[in-house]
Amino acid sequence: MATYTMHVAGLTRELPICKVNDDLSIGAFIMFGDAELTVACARDLLKLAEQLDYDYLFTAEAKSIPLIHEMARQSGAEKYFIARKGPKVYMPDPISVDDQSITTLSLQKLYLGSDEAAMMKGKKILIVDDVISTGGSLKAMEALVEKAGGTVAGRMAVLAEGGAAARKDILFLEKLPTFNSDGTPQ
């Protein structure tokens, strides 16, 4: 399998290049199981976040959960929020929005319990993700924050993939190219 060498947060990782469709492949950035990478990326994202005024961290499940947990641990935050990909029995009267990301083949929803939504109301929320690419998941998280009555204080990710690196409304640690079907960077 072809790989792409990624340098981020002072570390180097080989990302497998995975086919999305006939014209597009991506470098799969997976932090699950990589404690060293998670800790380093959380540290460096928190440095970027020093310029922002926020009350809570917020992400969507699942790949960025270890990242947001580590960011909360390092910063001393006692609470953070996770948008779920399905309603859970412990979520009272969940609110939901549609979500379409580059790594998900079908339209899905993101959910937030009304109890957590009430905690977000009137608060400044920093949205965190592992990778921002098309912005689909980011848009869904923004919609959940707004539906809960919160304000988006900022958007950040470890990597900005493809055209996302040109966005001026996100903070990120490194750029990640997208790839042609033969594995060469676009």
- If one counts the domains in the chain, the total is 1
Q: Across all residues in the chain, what is the average pLDDT?
A: 93
b (16+ CB within 10 A) / e for 112-145 = bbeebbebbeebbbbbbbbbbbebbbbebbbbbb
In a domain, 81, yes or no: yes
Dist CA 56 CA 81 (whole Å): 7
Helices (H), 58-171: 65-75, 114-120, 136-148
User: Which residues constitute the domain of residue 77?
Assistant: 35-176
Q: Quick: pLDDT tens for 28-49.
A: 999 999 999 999 999 999 999 9
Which amino acid is residue 73, in one-letter code?
A: R
Among residues of the chain, what percentage have pLDDT more than 90? 76
Residue 61 inside a domain? The answer is yes
pLDDT tops 70 at residue 180: yes
What's the confidence (pLDDT) of residue 98?
Answer: 86
Asked if residue 184 is part of any domain, the answer here is no
For residue 66, tell me if it sits in a domain: yes
pLDDT at res. 106: 61
Establish if 56 belongs to a structural domain: yes
Residue 87, in any domain of the structure: yes
pLDDT digits (tens, 9 = 90+) for 67-115: 999 999 999 999 999 999 888 889 889 999 987 665 555 678 899 999 9
Q: pTM here?
A: 0.92
pLDDT above 70 as % of the chain: 96
What is the distance between the alpha carbons of residues 41 and 56, in angstroms, rounded to a whole number?
Answer: 18
Is 41 contained in some domain?
A: yes
Provide the CATH number for the domain around residue 112. 3.40.50.2020
**pLDDT bucket at 20, cuts 50 / 70 / 90:** confident
Asked if residue 11 belongs to a domain, the reply is no
